[in-house]
Homo-oligomer: A and B are copies of this chain.
């Protein structure tokens, strides 16, 4: 553990035992623990790490607005980066806790962009939620000559359709309020009966449902739809 260093720490998909040994070392030793917090005041990454948080560190919760517009989020990252910068200049080590992996569709890259020129940064990769989903379903994400595509549900219908065409396995992430649009695209492509939706795999509220068994038109933000087109042998 180095002073004046920012650590991006992946805490994995939900089960605290899916943190890495290295993540545990860094979280235990860091002077400052930073983590994103939603508007209800909850932090998934802190919650995953909580069994090994012993209270010695200063905690720096970062309230990230979940808006479609980018300006509020940018202003938040700017302000939080200044706070982190202060701690680093004062000689502290700072660990920023990330659900899953720090560089896989998370907020840590915004701090790399803001602080990477002026500070040492070390990134501890973590288990991504897709791996947890696959493990739960016993479904390979890819094998041999397969193309696996990770596709945000935020894309428009045409872009979704194109991304699905090229992939043997598609993992559609950030489903939430885009559920109905994604289901429509999958149905039109004849793929809906090959699709499964997972909510917070390995978390306490884990659920796995065949897509066509879902009755509502919404899904939690942390849902993933896995679609497998090819066969493996």
Where the two chains meet, the residues of A that have a C-beta atom closer than 8 Å to any C-beta of B are: 8, 10, 12-13, 15-22, 24-25, 74, 101-106, 109, 112-113, 116, 121, 123-128, 131-132, 134-136, 138-152, 154-155, 159, 162-163, 166-167, 202, 232-233
What is the copy number of this chain in the assembly? 2
Whether A104 and B134, one on each chain, are in contact in the complex, defined by CB atoms closer than 8 angstroms, is yes
**Residues of B contacting A134 in the complex (Cβ-Cβ under 8 angstroms):** 101, 103-104, 123, 125
26 residue pairs from A and B, CB less than 8 Å apart: A8-B135, A12-B20, A20-B21, A101-B127, A101-B131, A101-B135, A103-B138, A103-B139, A104-B131, A104-B140, A105-B143, A105-B144, A105-B146, A116-B138, A123-B135, A125-B127, A125-B135, A127-B127, A128-B128, A142-B150, A144-B154, A145-B152, A145-B155, A147-B150, A148-B150, A163-B166
Given the contacts A103-B131, A124-B135, A135-B123, A166 and B149 also touching, CB distance less than 8 Å: yes
Q: Which of B20, B140, B233 contacts A19 (CB 8 A)?
A: B20
**Once bound together, how far apart are the Cα atoms of A203 and B159, in whole Å?**
37
**Once bound together, how far apart are the Cα atoms of A141 and B105, in whole Å?**
7
Given the contacts A147-B152, A149-B148, A127 and B232 also touching, CB distance less than 8 Å: no
